Homo-oligomer: A and B are copies of this chain.
Amino acid sequence: MLGLMQQRPLLISTLVDYAAQWHGEREIVSRDPEGAIHRTNYAEVAARAKRLANALDALGIAQGDRVATLAWNGFRHLELYYGVTSSGRVLHTVNPRLFPDQLAYIMHHAEDGYVFFDPVFAPLVEALAPRLPQVRGWVSLSDRAGLPDVKVDNLLVYEELLAAASADYSWPPLDENAASTLCYTSGTTGNPKGVLYSHRSTVLHAFAACAVDGLGLSGRDSFLVVVPLFHANAWSVPFSGAMCGMKLVLPGPRLDPESLFALLVDEGCTKSGGVPTVWLNFLTWIEANRASLDLGRLRLKTVLCGGSAPPRAIIEKFHELLGVFLLHAWGMTETSPIVTVGAPLAKHDGMSGAALVDVQAKQGRQVCGVELKLARPDGGEAPHDGVSVGELKVRGNWIVSGYFKGEGGQVLDEDGWFSTGDVATIDPDGYVQLTDRLKDVIKSGGEWISSIEIENLAMSHPEVFEAAVVAVAHPVWQERPLLIVQPRVGFAPTRESILAFLTERLPKWQVPEDVAFVDSLPHTATGKLLKTELRQRFHGHLAVAG
């Protein structure tokens, strides 16, 4: 028997209309590349998003067609977020920091028909245009005066498109499962793969973001959106912001500490969100300049941090220097992204200092609306004891069911779980702690051993400069950990001294099978250990050594 409640589709347009009607005067503040401040509000942004929808109609862009952006965080980008999706097209937010080859691959694969770009990306657009023949138009996110000198066919001006379009528009009825936005994963292995979000997934995800124990977003907040709008839906902020009528502050390309600080103070920001790197720079600058800064004017209370794990020092400095709570969250492009959030529990009331940092440093607890499990190699679930490791698998309405155009094939197991590739523990309170990427874990006799944990331990040995742990083949245990050490200059630690050091600090079965010494460890261009090379080189180490 069905209930007798209304069934209305969950659509992004309902969020846009809500913000326009009930939070119409709530500000949207943008900073352009030259530092000039632009002020608008939800009512105006929604009205311009409707003009944009008429302009897209006039350009002949069909429902479901992809419209790409190459843009920083600003009000025009936000209008595209609302107008493209609510009118039934798919917004493809492209990361302009990728290499041109990657960009060309992604935008070709997505079949982007129109590209809306910030004028600062004119050189990039010129380089891409010849490689993207399917693009029917390039739209400069500016007025005529701001149009850059860019040589592409079908160059259009955003403000002219809007000026020529009627203000009269009603969002179309759509299937709530219709596609809304498209993001490509950075693709550490293989080609980048597209994640195609739906209106339903987006609205449900926004509800989770507005929950007190989710991101805790409120119409009373002013939010500095440091996370780029081209990163996994900017963690839902464009959508959850509209859902609650939150003031949005969009910093454009300048993410230097001084620019961020000025916006935080001038716009009365209570919350912000971004990756650890930005905050590390920010806090270093605050610390160096605190004597000359009027920190009392800062209203910032909470900073969301994700993308990678923030070092403890960031958590501590936010608290000590600014009285700000770092709210750690975890997810990925494939998960919209929010899966876990480090909201404290009632039992943490009154907790402070290192104990609270311990909680904040973890990736947080599963939010309601998705499901998370810690899968053991044998298919069972690992206990939530803070020690047992497993791979995080997720399931739910804002989790990918497959990649765009079937790339990567079937990505869910028969029960619908998506494998994140992240290895973690979950403590008895439900807090997730990432320990490794699955590919870096040593699978030893049905148990998993974290390479990162052993590396960190080994590096605390006074004679070790850097350490890497990789799996090597073993006749009985399939894989065993091998520790590869680059000694400190002037030291020559022995195998025995290092193993003795580790034996005191690790369960016996996790102690590396052997130690190899190298003059220097190989790294990627971004400074990460190049484990693929080490694995190739040392794969047969035990057979040889044995």
Which residues of A are interface residues toward B (Cβ below 8 A)? Answer: 1-8, 10, 14-15, 18, 22, 26, 63-64, 90, 175, 177-180, 195-201, 204, 207-208, 210-214, 216-222, 243-245, 247, 336, 343-346, 349, 365-366, 368-369, 371, 395-404, 412, 416, 418, 430
Contacts A5-B401, A6-B412, A207-B211 supplied; 15 other A-B pairs, CB < 8 Å: A1-B178, A2-B198, A3-B177, A3-B180, A3-B199, A4-B195, A4-B403, A5-B198, A6-B395, A6-B416, A207-B210, A212-B217, A212-B218, A219-B343, A220-B344
- In the complex, chain B residues whose CB is within 8 Å of the CB of A198: 2-5
Determine the chain B residues whose CB is within 8 A of the CB of A208 once the complex forms.
207
A-B contact pairs, 19 of them (CB 8 A): A1-B64, A1-B178, A3-B179, A3-B196, A4-B196, A4-B401, A5-B336, A6-B395, A6-B399, A8-B397, A18-B368, A22-B365, A22-B366, A207-B369, A211-B211, A211-B244, A212-B218, A219-B343, A220-B346
Assembly CA distance A118 to B119 (angstroms): 70
Contact A6 B401 (CB under 8 A): yes
Residues on B with beta carbons closer than 8 Å to the beta carbon of A175: 2
Is A4 within 8 A of B416, CB to CB? no
By a CB distance below 8 angstroms, the chain B residues around A14 are 368, 371
Evaluate contact between A211 and B210: CB separation under 8 angstroms: yes
The answer to whether A4 touches B402, judged by C-beta atoms less than 8 angstroms apart, is yes
A90 to B4, CA, bound (A): 12
Our pick among B2, B371, B398 for the contact of A5 (Cβ within 8 Å) is B398
Q: Which residues of B sit under 8 angstroms from A243, Cβ to Cβ?
A: 211, 368
A15-B208 Cα distance, complex, nearest whole Å: 13
A257→B370 CA distance, assembly (Å): 40
Tell me which of B3, B177, B210, B211 contacts A201 (CB under 8 A).
B3
Q: Given the known inter-chain contacts A178-B2, A368-B15, please indicate yes or no for A200 contacting B7, CB distance below 8 A.
A: yes
Q: Which residue of B lies closest to A209 (CB)?
A: B211
Is A219 a contact partner of B6 (Cβ separation < 8 A)? no
Residues of B contacting A397 with CB < 8 Å? 5-8, 10
Residue of B nearest to A348 (CB): B220
Number of copies: 2
Q: Do the beta carbons of B345 and A219 come within 8 Å of each other?
A: yes
Residues of B within 8 A of A396 (CB): 6, 8
**B5 and A201 contacting across the interface, CB-CB below 8 Å:** yes
**A395 partner, pick from B8, B63, B211, B245, beta carbons under 8 A:** B8
A217 vs B179: C-alpha distance when bound (angstroms):
31
Nearest CB in chain B: distance from A348 CB, A: 8
List of B residues within 8 angstroms of A345 by Cβ: 219-220
Which residue in chain B gives the minimum CB-CB distance to A62? B1
Closest CB of chain B to A386's CB: distance in Å? 15
Residue of B nearest to A24 (CB): B430
Chain B residue nearest in CB terms to A211: B210
A398 to B7 Cα, complex, angstroms: 8
User: Taking CB as reference atom, which chain B residue is nearest A196?
Assistant: B4
Contacts of A416 in B (CB 8 A): 6, 8
List B contacts of A344 (CB < 8 A).
220
Known: A368-B15, A368-B244. A5 touches B196 (CB 8 A): yes
A212, B201: Cβ atoms closer than 8 Å:
no
CB distance from A346 to the nearest CB of B (A): 4
Q: How far is the CA of A194 from the CA of B108 in the complex (A)?
A: 55
Q: In angstroms, how far is the closest chain B Cβ from the Cβ of A484?
A: 39
Residue of B with least CB distance to A366:
B22
Docked Cα-Cα span, A7 to B401, in Å, equals 8
Q: Which of A15, A365, A369, A403: most chain B Cβ within 10 A?
A: A369
Contacts of A221 in B (CB 8 A): 346
CA distance A513 to B233 in the complex (A): 60
Q: Which chain B positions have C-beta within 8 A of A403?
A: 4
A219 to B346, Cβ gap below 8 A?
yes
Using known A-B contacts A218-B212, A220-B344, A220-B345, determine if residue A2 contacts B179 with beta carbons closer than 8 Å: yes
B222, A346: Cβ atoms under 8 Å?
Answer: yes
Shortest 6 CB-CB contacts between residues of A and residues of B: A3-B198, A1-B64, A207-B207, A5-B201, A212-B218, A3-B179
Distance (whole angstroms) from the CB of A383 to the closest CB of chain B? 12
Alpha-carbon gap, A510 to B365, bound state (A): 57
For A195, give the chain B residue with the smallest CB separation: B4
Q: Which residues of B contact A4 (CB under 8 A)?
A: 179, 195-196, 198, 400-404
